[in-house]
Amino acid sequence: MVSKVTGSRSADSSGIYRRPRLVIRLKRFEDLPTVLSKTKSYPTPIRMVGADYSQTRCVGGDGGTTVDTGGLDKILEFGETFVRAQAGVRVGTLVHALAERGLELPLTPEMGQISLGALAVPTLPQASHGAGVAQLSSLVTEIKLITPQGKQMIVTERERDLMRVLRSSFGLLGVVHEVVLRVRPLTPVKIDYLVLSLKEFSGRFASIIRAPGALRLHISPFNDRITVERRTLDESASLSRSGIWQIRKSVMRNVLPAFGSTVGSVLAAPGLRAAMQKALHATLDRSTRGVMMYAHEWMRDLPVEAWKARHTYSLWAFPEADFPVVLAAYYSFCKSYFKTNRYRCNVVSGASRLHQDKGSLFSVSYTGPMFTLEPSSTGDEGWDDFLIDFNDFASGLGGTPTFNQTRALQPEHVAKSFGERVKLFRALRQRTDPLNRLRNSYFAYLFG
């Protein structure tokens, strides 16, 4: 039924501490009820793992059972407006299979490894094109899961409130084994870059957010440089395959790596910072005219072992209207932190504009449009301490965190940001899983 893997009892190689007693690789979802009901053979807590790329202990181990969903790897059905697949399918595999059929997801992340189970139940904010869809879980229209009592449940968009809770449930309400995602026809994307100082960015902010397109920012507080990357859907553009492959080569080789914060790209170790900046300028000169590509072509596969990507970051989101003020405060925070502690992040910080999205309970843009802010690093010495102070800074400015991409999170940050939504989730969780079969110490600490 399931293949068992020797349990690891120590911190894993990414440095994120975990202690599962047992790690099993699921081959058939039909085995899940047995795994959930046999507490002696499969110790509590039962926690699922997809690609294991989260930045926090949201997978967790705690002497329990880690269930690797990688064996549930079938794409089951392609429709014109939807695709049905098992939870262990990687989003990169899915996106390429869709592209072969002239289809795509309405939001395409840059990292290919994300498993569909992890796409469905955590909040994964993405640079968005319009209201309603700013986290990947909002693409999910149906979820099949096994409850802590071992019962199969099928939830669709028609059960709006339940779907909203499940889409940010992190495996705490049940184990997802199948999902249906919304798809649309492949649409060319025009990518433009604009390099601004903070003063210029603040002065032009109203027009930057008014113009159409998804926005991704690359921020260097010490060089006072904000690169605004705008991705505009252009349905009228017709791109031949050969044309698009040439553009792809140019973008992948020359443009994206130069930004440092783009996933899987070149990292700016301190000694390389000057060279990085040079490459950035040279590349930008070439790219200001804009390039066209399809979204799936910016997707990258990172190393199979998460820690080898050597790219770590933390993420908070802030109300859109406050963002220029937040950025100015971030510049000052970084400079003052460096003065006192001689530490500064060695990778360009990222940011994404998120439209309002109420599709999941813990959506970071639940209350309105937001911008994320993502300090990034290679995980060098001083990074962990920096994040502790950064969290207080971000929470003090009214920021909203995530549970799998915000590191060193504390219960008071969670209570302040999510308030009543946490209480609602806790009450539902206690009813659904009274024996805490699915809860690990990380979530117990944050939610109570």
Cis amide linkage into residue 106, ω under 30° from 0: no
Binding span for ligand FAD by CB under 6 A among 107-115, 281-289, 345-353, 358-366: 107-115
Q: Is 360 in the site for ligand FAD (CB under 6 A)?
A: no
Q: Rounded distance, CA 420 to CA 444, Å?
A: 17
Instruction: Please select the residue that binds ligand FAD; options are 51, 163, 166, 345, rule is CB under 6 A.
Output: 51
Helix ranges (DSSP H) in 173-303 = 198-210, 241-250, 273-287
Binding span for ligand FAD by CB under 6 A among 119-127, 199-207, 227-235, 415-423: 119-127
Say if CB 229 and CB 191 are below 8 A apart.
yes
Q: Is 375 in the site for ligand FAD (CB under 6 A)?
A: no
Q: Rounded distance, CA 405 to CA 170, Å?
A: 12
Using CA atoms of 149, 16, 260, 95 in order, give the dihedral in degrees to the nearest 10: -20
Q: Is 216 in the site for ligand FAD (CB under 6 A)?
A: no
What DSSP letter does each residue of 350-382 carry, written as one string? Answer: EEEEE----SSTT-TTSSS-EEEEEEEES--TT
Q: Is 316 in the site for ligand FAD (CB under 6 A)?
A: no
Q: Rounded distance, CA 43 to CA 63, Å?
A: 7
Toward ligand FAD, which CB reaches closer, 50 or 319?
50
Instruction: Please select the residue that binds ligand FAD; options are 20, 45, 92, 117, rule is CB under 6 A.
Output: 117
Instruction: Please select the residue that binds ligand FAD; options are 20, 45, 50, 257, rule is CB under 6 A.
Output: 50
Toward ligand FAD, which CB reaches closer, 113 or 287?
113
Instruction: Please select the residue that binds ligand FAD; options are 20, 45, 61, 109, rule is CB under 6 A.
Output: 109
Toward ligand FAD, which CB reaches closer, 122 or 401?
122
Using CB under 6 A as the binding rule, the residues of this chain from 255 to 284 that contact ligand FAD are 263
Q: Is 176 in the site for ligand FAD (CB under 6 A)?
A: yes
Instruction: Please select the residue that binds ligand FAD; options are 94, 124, 251, 394, rule is CB under 6 A.
Output: 124
Q: Is 114 in the site for ligand FAD (CB under 6 A)?
A: yes
Output the six-digit token pair for 59: 């997978």
Tokens 């080898």 found at: 308
Burial of 372 (C-beta count, 10 Å sphere; 0-12/13-18/19+): buried
Q: Is 118 in the site for ligand FAD (CB under 6 A)?
A: yes
Toward ligand FAD, which CB reaches closer, 29 or 333?
29
CA angle 122, 302, 24 (to 5 degrees): 60
Neighbours of 120 (CB within 10 A): 28
Q: Is 311 in the site for ligand FAD (CB under 6 A)?
A: yes
Cα 448 to Cα 25, 102, 153: the distances in Å are 30, 46, 26
Q: Is 32 in the site for ligand FAD (CB under 6 A)?
A: no
Instruction: List residues near ligand FAD by CB under 6 A.
Output: 47-54, 58-59, 69, 87, 109-111, 114-115, 117-118, 121-122, 124, 126, 136, 170-171, 175-176, 263, 302, 306, 309, 311, 404-405
